[in-house]
Amino acid sequence: MPKSDMIGIAKSMRDYLDQLSVGKQPFTVQAYGVALRRFEAFLEQTYRFTEETSARDLTVDHAIAFGKSLQGLSPATIKNYLAAVSQFYRYLFAHRFVEIDMADHERLFSTFRQMRPRAFNLPRVPSDEMVDALIQAARAEPEQPKRKQSPGDKERTRLQRQRNVALLLALRSSGMRLGEALTLQRGDLDYRSKSALVTGKGRKQRIVYFDPEAWNAIQEYLKARQDGKRTRALSSLPIFARHDRRAGDRVLPLTRQRVEQIFADLAERAQIDPKPTPHWFRHWFATQVLDRTQDLAALQEMLGHESPVTTRIYAKVSTKRLRQVHDAAFGKEKGTNDND
């Protein structure tokens, strides 16, 4: 193994991301990669560091200066960048690529804790009508193209429509994160309980359940794919797959970018504004559970939240109970009573 003073900053970042990929979701690794590339660019512009600059030259002050440079970005972006750099420094410390004393060690992480944005907006919850409109748009037959389609194009279009309907219904009835849905494989489905085993943040697993409409849509879509014709084991195939010319006969998982484009297209067809995101379905699911059960503990388990504090935010946007309380207090006009 090369000496620590011979390892460049760029290589240490690549090595860290390779190690991170073992225990983290691909989307987390990708997000951390974006953050570290920004940190690398900051070091180059501010301190004239290069790819060959030794990781040993990094100090706590470089990280803190980077954190201060993030002002003006969205709270979510700042949190992601600080988390990525913080974990990268932990990696450097653990491998003794950077030598610092305990005082600087504590100064870095306490400063980053203070930099993390604490205020956050309430989640945007779509109305029932918006959710229904998106699903109806997914179900609708697409407009006929101007040029004549080949039988293969028609089949791909049909599978895309079935997949989109199944995905939207699955997100609506399960509360899954989009990343969790996209990594689901056929072997994760439990046909007895109409559920699936998903792997969430931190590689933590949980069970999510589908309503009959979503389950039936998933089964119809999988049946239409006719995956049994392929030699690859069915259990390892993605539930939500690509159906484009570039994929060909391969069963490749649907990408996040493609889903975002699907939502944009459906929103335009349904004439919905502001533009919805896949995460809106998770917000809708959470408020539905709270409105009907008031069970925060169960909702925390369903959403895969590590902390109940994260789940409790949905109590602030679950309006049914608040409406009932408000009506109890102000539902009648002043000066009236039951004897009038």
CB burial of residue 156 (10 Å; 0-12, 13-18, 19+): middle
On whether residue 339 sits in a domain, the answer given is no
Specify whether 68 is catalytic.
no
On whether residue 232 sits in a domain, the answer given is yes
Total domain count, the chain: 2
Residue of 158, 201, 258, 312 marked catalytic: 201
Cα–Cα distance for residue pair 35/188, rounded to 1 Å:
32
CB 184 within 8 A of CB 240: yes
Half-sphere exposure of 92 (CA within 13 A, CB side): 28
On whether residue 44 sits in a domain, the answer given is yes
Residue 330 confidence (pLDDT) = 81
Residue of 62, 172, 243, 305 marked catalytic: 305
201 lies in the same domain as 169: yes
* CATH number of the domain enclosing 91: 1.10.150.130
Helix, strand, coil content of the chain in percent (nearest 5): 60, 5, 35
Residue of 37, 275, 279, 326 marked catalytic: 279
99 lies in the same domain as 217: no
pTM value > 0.75: no
Half-sphere exposure of 112 (CA within 13 A, CB side): 25
173 lies in the same domain as 314: yes
Of 67, 86, 115, the residue at which a domain comes to its end is 115
Specify whether 203 is catalytic.
no
On whether residue 331 sits in a domain, the answer given is no
Cα–Cα distance for residue pair 50/40, rounded to 1 Å:
9
Cα–Cα distance for residue pair 119/311, rounded to 1 Å:
15
CB 10 within 8 A of CB 26: no
144 lies in the same domain as 260: yes
Residue 132 confidence (pLDDT) = 94
Residue of 24, 62, 243, 282 marked catalytic: 282
Half-sphere exposure of 14 (CA within 13 A, CB side): 6
Specify whether 282 is catalytic.
yes
273 lies in the same domain as 141: yes
Query: Which tens digit of pLDDT belongs to each residue from 23-59?
Result: 777 888 899 999 999 999 999 999 999 988 999 999 9
Specify whether 314 is catalytic.
yes
DSSP letters, 189-221, are EETTTTEEEEE-GGG-EEEEE--HHHHHHHHHH
CB 165 within 8 A of CB 138: yes
- In the predicted structure, residue 163 carries a pLDDT above the cut 50: yes
8 lies in the same domain as 99: yes
Q: What angle do CA 286, 198, 258 make, to 5 degrees?
A: 80
Residue of 62, 177, 243, 283 marked catalytic: 177
- In the predicted structure, residue 165 carries a pLDDT above the cut 90: yes
Specify whether 148 is catalytic.
no
**CA nearest to 175, candidates 137, 218, 214:** 214
Residue of 16, 81, 221, 314 marked catalytic: 314
On whether residue 304 sits in a domain, the answer given is yes
On whether residue 334 sits in a domain, the answer given is no
Percentage of the chain beyond pLDDT 90 is: 59
107 lies in the same domain as 61: yes
179 lies in the same domain as 256: yes
- In the predicted structure, residue 284 carries a pLDDT above the cut 50: yes
101 lies in the same domain as 132: no
Residue 4 confidence (pLDDT) = 46
Residue 64 confidence (pLDDT) = 97
Region 311-330 average pLDDT: 74
On whether residue 139 sits in a domain, the answer given is yes
Specify whether 256 is catalytic.
no
Query: Which domain covers residue 208, as residue numbers?
Result: 128-323
102 lies in the same domain as 207: no
307 lies in the same domain as 199: yes
Residue 311 confidence (pLDDT) = 82
- In the predicted structure, residue 180 carries a pLDDT above the cut 70: yes
> What is the SS3 assignment for 238?
strand
- In the predicted structure, residue 140 carries a pLDDT above the cut 60: yes
Residue 153 confidence (pLDDT) = 84
Residues 6 or more apart whose CB falls under 8 angstroms from that of 281 comprise 126, 131, 168, 171, 172, 175
